[in-house]
Amino acid sequence: MKKADCNILVEKLVSKIRCFGSKKLSYSGRLVLVNSVLTALYSYWINIFVIPVSVLNKLNAICRNYLWDGGADFVRVPMVGWEKVCCPKSEGGLGIRDSFAWNIAAIGKLVWWVYFNPDRLWVKWVNQVYLKGQDWKDYKPSGDLSWGWKSVCKVKDKLDAGYQNGQWLLDVRGYTLRSGYDLIRHKFQNVPWHKQIWNSWSLPKHQFIGWLIAREALMLKDKLFSLGIVPDDDCLLCGKGGENHTHLFQTCEYSRRLLDEVFKILRIALPISNPLQRIADGQFSQVQKGVILSAVSATFYHIWLQRNKARVDGVLQRPEFVRDLILKEMKTRIVVLLSQKTATSDNVWLRSRSLIV
């Protein structure tokens, strides 16, 4: 496989993005398309062939550029590094598969076949042409052999930590792509907030902005000021204090008023400084936790939205008006997710707060 052989694959991704017409899609909408469409276009190739590194770089670049800017070309600087984006949600990422690690894990199947499938025709050919009676674990290819075969041998060395006495240690069923990928990919520590952010009761666009807030990745005025892009870092909502993640979503007077308005409707008293942790520790049912988390997530999203409107249009809507928008979105989401099996106590709790009829 040469770079020229894979050009059609790159062209397919670029043409698919042009067909999306996705400039108006939210980050969460583009994330769905990356996971369900773009990665699916090249997953067959990655599972079958050793793909050149330059092509894998291009595939990653196209997916990254589309996620952050809606196009295949590099325009906007990513808010979060691609390595962190590709880690699981439990580790603070978005769960996008990294093409490098996935290609290595897929070729790892060939390594497993040589170990445990001697009756396969391809394995018989490998034993006859390359191994010639040598032990597969200690085998080293000579320099005059093909690039493809040497790539398979490099994959064997990369997966060596998962084998002991020829047995795959990470899955009782033997080698799997999932276990191989988990061994190869870059790992980060688990984050305590992922279950609160990726709560199914929250709208996807709220989840994504909540994820950026949790990672402190939004381009607020403190970052822009440090780069010399804006003349000051004053908060656009209250004008008091420097605009950073802690101020905008915790101590800003406008944000505190909006959160307080939403909490009054829900009839709960939570510390505005850290509501997510209090919800997780509180004595609420799963439905109630989901609804409260969705309210906090929607409030943070609208704080970010109001901040952008204040910057671009010079307009700032009253907290009471924004509160009504949040409740309207919550009611729509609750109608979609609420089932007939919902406990009576949860239905009473929702009706008492006018979230359902």
The pLDDT score that the predictor gives to residue 262 is 92
Nearest to 86 by CA among 104, 102, 98: 98
- pTM score, whole prediction: 0.90
The pLDDT score that the predictor gives to residue 44 is 86
The pLDDT score that the predictor gives to residue 164 is 82
Report residue 65 CA to chain centroid gap.
14
Lowest mean pLDDT among 151-165, 266-280, 292-306: 266-280
Lowest mean pLDDT among 2-6, 139-143, 183-187, 268-272: 268-272
Give the Cα separation of 87 and 85 in Å (integer): 6
The pLDDT score that the predictor gives to residue 277 is 61
Q: What is the dihedral of CA 33, 198, 345, 269, to 10 degrees?
A: -130
Nearest to 291 by CA among 256, 237, 338, 357: 338
Give the Cα separation of 3 and 18 in Å (integer): 23
For residue 14, give Cα distances in angstroms to 19, 26, 43, 106. Answer: 9, 19, 16, 24
Higher pLDDT residue, 254 or 269?
Answer: 254
Average pLDDT, stretch 83-93?
95
For residue 220, give Cα distances in angstroms to 81, 82, 216, 263, 283. Answer: 17, 20, 9, 26, 35
Extents of the domains making up the chain: 4-79, 102-184, 194-352
Give the Cα separation of 11 and 30 in Å (integer): 19
The pLDDT score that the predictor gives to residue 326 is 96
pLDDT greater than 90 at residue 305: yes
pLDDT greater than 70 at residue 23: no
Higher pLDDT residue, 225 or 3?
Answer: 225
Report residue 6 CA to chain centroid gap.
26
pLDDT digits (tens, 9 = 90+) for 89-117: 999 999 999 999 999 999 999 999 998 88
DSSP 8-class letter at 129: I
Lowest mean pLDDT among 2-16, 190-204, 264-278: 264-278
Q: Residue 242 forms beta bridges with which residues? A: 234
Phi and psi of 165, rounded to 5°?
A: 55, 35
Average pLDDT, stretch 5-31?
84
The pLDDT score that the predictor gives to residue 281 is 61
pLDDT greater than 80 at residue 173: yes
Identity of the residue numbered 175: Y
Tokens 């497993």 locate to 112
The pLDDT score that the predictor gives to residue 147 is 87
pLDDT digits (tens, 9 = 90+) for 177-202: 999 999 999 999 999 999 999 999 99
The pLDDT score that the predictor gives to residue 278 is 63
Mean pLDDT, all residues of the chain: 89
